[in-house]
Amino acid sequence: MKKLRKKIIAGNWKMNKSTAEAQALAQEIVKELAGCSEADVVLCPPFTALKVVGDVISQTSIKLGAQNMHWEGEGAFTGEISASMLRDLYCWYVILGHSERRTCFGETDDHVNRKVKAALAATLLPIVCVGETLKEREAGQTEAVVKRQLEGGLAGLGAGELAKVVVAYEPVWAIGTGRTATPEQAQEVHAFIRKVLAGLASEEAAQTVRIQYGGSMKPANARDLLTQPDIDGGLIGGASLDARLFVEIVRQAM
C-alpha cells in the first residue's frame, strides 16, 4: 500500500540573516528554482525576515515556514508568536520540537504536542523534529527515544490530522557537526518511525506522512539519503544558508 510521497526540502535558517541578507538569499533561490514543482521547497527564516522572504516567494511555488510558535492563540506571553500570526504572514509550515529548542529552551514532548495541535487548528503544517543524542544511540536507545517523542508530540491526533504532519528525523549527533547518518542508518529509523505512526493512527495515514532526514545534509550526501524508500525529504540547516548548496540539494530530490 505504498503511496507516492512528494519530496519536501526545507531550509532552517535558524538565528541567521538580517532582513536584507534574507531577501538576497531568497531571491537567489527563487532565481534558480523558478518553475520547480517536482519537490516541495520551504524556507524557514527567522521571524524578523518572514515578511521580506514571503514577499520574494509570493509568486512562486516555494512556501514559507517558521521555526517555532507558541500554542496559545494570544495574550500575555512576552516574546512569543502565535499560529495565527504566522498564518497572517502567509506561513504554510512551522518547525516544532527542534532539538535546539528541546535542549536550549526546555521544550518537552507535551509542549510539542500543544504546539502541533494549535498549528493544525490554524491550518499550519507542522514539521515535527525527533531524534536521539549520541549517548542515547550508543546506549541502544534510538528507537525508544524516537517512539517516546512521536507518541508524546503527536498524542491525540486523528488519522486525518496526522497525515498532514511532516516528521523530521534529526539525529542530534548529526546536526551541525558534519557527521551524517549513513543512508542505511537513516532508512532504518525512518522505517521505524513509519511503523510507530501506523500504530498511532492507521497504515494509510503513516504511508502519507512525509519523513525528512536532517543532520549535515549537503549536495554530496543528499542523493544517497533521498533515494532511500522511507526518506521523503530533508530539513537543512547549515547548507540552507548558501543558495548554491541549498538549490543543489533540492535538485537531488527531483
Residues lying near ligand PEP in the complex (CB under 6 A) are found at 12, 170, 175-176, 214-217, 235-239
Q: What residue is closest to ligand PEP based on CB?
A: 237
Rounded to a whole number of angstroms, the minimum distance from the CB of residue 234 to ligand PEP is 8
Shorter beta-carbon distance to ligand PEP: residue 171 or 197: 171
Neighbours of 204 (CB within 10 A): 12
Shorter beta-carbon distance to ligand PEP: residue 12 or 187: 12
What are residue 26's phi and psi, to 5 degrees? -65, -40
Catalytic: 98? yes
Cα angle, residue 219 at apex, residues 215 and 223 outer, rounded to 5°: 85
Q: 100, 132, 170, 190: which is the annotated catalytic residue?
A: 170
Nearest to 197 by CA among 227, 236, 230, 222: 230
Q: 98, 100, 136, 190: which is the annotated catalytic residue?
A: 98
Shorter beta-carbon distance to ligand PEP: residue 86 or 249: 249
Q: Say how far apart CA 85 and CA 178 lie, in whole Å.
A: 34
What are residue 14's phi and psi, to 5 degrees? 50, -145
Grid coordinates representing 209?
506522512
Rounded to a whole number of angstroms, the minimum distance from the CB of residue 215 to ligand PEP is 5
Shorter beta-carbon distance to ligand PEP: residue 201 or 212: 212
Rounded to a whole number of angstroms, the minimum distance from the CB of residue 214 to ligand PEP is 3
Shorter beta-carbon distance to ligand PEP: residue 9 or 209: 9
Rounded to a whole number of angstroms, the minimum distance from the CB of residue 85 to ligand PEP is 22
Rounded to a whole number of angstroms, the minimum distance from the CB of residue 204 to ligand PEP is 28
Catalytic: 111? no
Cα angle, residue 56 at apex, residues 53 and 61 outer, rounded to 5°: 100
Q: Say how far apart CA 64 and CA 61 lie, in whole Å.
A: 10
Q: Which helix (H) or strand (E) holds 249?
A: helix 243-252
**Which residues make Cβ contacts (< 8 Å) with residue 56, sequence separation at least 6?**
23, 26, 27, 30
Residue type (1 letter), 244: R
- Residues designated as active site: 98, 170
